[in-house]
Amino acid sequence: MQIKIDAHTHTLASTHAYSTVFENAAFAKKNGLDGFGITDHTPPIQDAPDILHFMNLHVLDRQIDGVELLRGAELNIVDYKGGVYLDKEILKRLDYAIASFHDMALTPGSKAENTAAYLGAMDNPYVAIIGHPEDGRVPVDFEQLVLAARSTKTLLEINNSSLRAAYYRLNTRENMIEILRLCEQYGVAVSMGTDAHFAPAVGRFDETLELLEEIHFPQELVANLSVEKFKMLIGGKKA
């Protein structure tokens, strides 16, 4: 399986990431991608840029040295109803948004509360992808999550950083397998993201690709096999 677009990368704009847009583009190309998305953190977490960062993404070239750039954001879910920080007027300008649970923005609650938070975020037409839902520090009813992803046409992310050694998320491998099996059962597509915080990691899906192959996950449910397929699937909700 060849991944052609990395849907989740960070730049210097998030202070805990260390590379520029150009550096991400260069490694995207070197690692065989046709496209990548810039998805920096949004307020209210401390390390996020000002909302002006998201309002001004349109100044970025669409193509950098033959690699397509998509303009995105990694939104924080800020309450158990699935509220997110950026408002509609800014979200409208982006190509897509990932909504993620970060404990700096919202303390993980009970399984029912966390699941309700994800379901609420998926009802937002601008949320195309749920980021790293396998993080065991945020207990979730995965069957409900996958069924809601199907009914709202939201992609669930398979996050390569979550499978890297010494990572701080919990039970990621077991949870990811459970999510993938449910996605296969219910025909829900997944989005591949490295969550790279340093340019050489852009486009490196070593751990997640190995897992997809190990469990024989069907290729047709992977959104990132081409830039066109990815764009079609992230556009499904707004239509």
Residues that bind Zn ion (CB under 5 A): 74, 100, 195
Q: How far is the CB of 142 from Zn ion (least distance, A)?
A: 18
Closest CA to 20 of 141, 143, 158, 196: 196
DSSP symbols for 72-124: EEEEEB-STT--BSS-HHHHTTSSEEEEE--TTTS----HHHHHHHHHHHHTS
Q: How far is the CB of 101 from Zn ion (least distance, A)?
A: 8
Entry field: residues in the chain: 239
Closer to Zn ion by Cβ: residue 136 or 181: 136
Closer to Zn ion by Cβ: residue 37 or 66: 37
Q: How far is the CB of 216 from Zn ion (least distance, A)?
A: 28
Residue closest to Zn ion, measured at CB: 100
Closer to Zn ion by Cβ: residue 7 or 119: 7
Query: How would you label 15-42 residue by residue, b for 16+ Cβ within 10 Å and e otherwise?
Result: eebebebebbbbbbbebebbbbbbbbbb
Q: How far is the CB of 56 from Zn ion (least distance, A)?
A: 20
Closer to Zn ion by Cβ: residue 24 or 100: 100
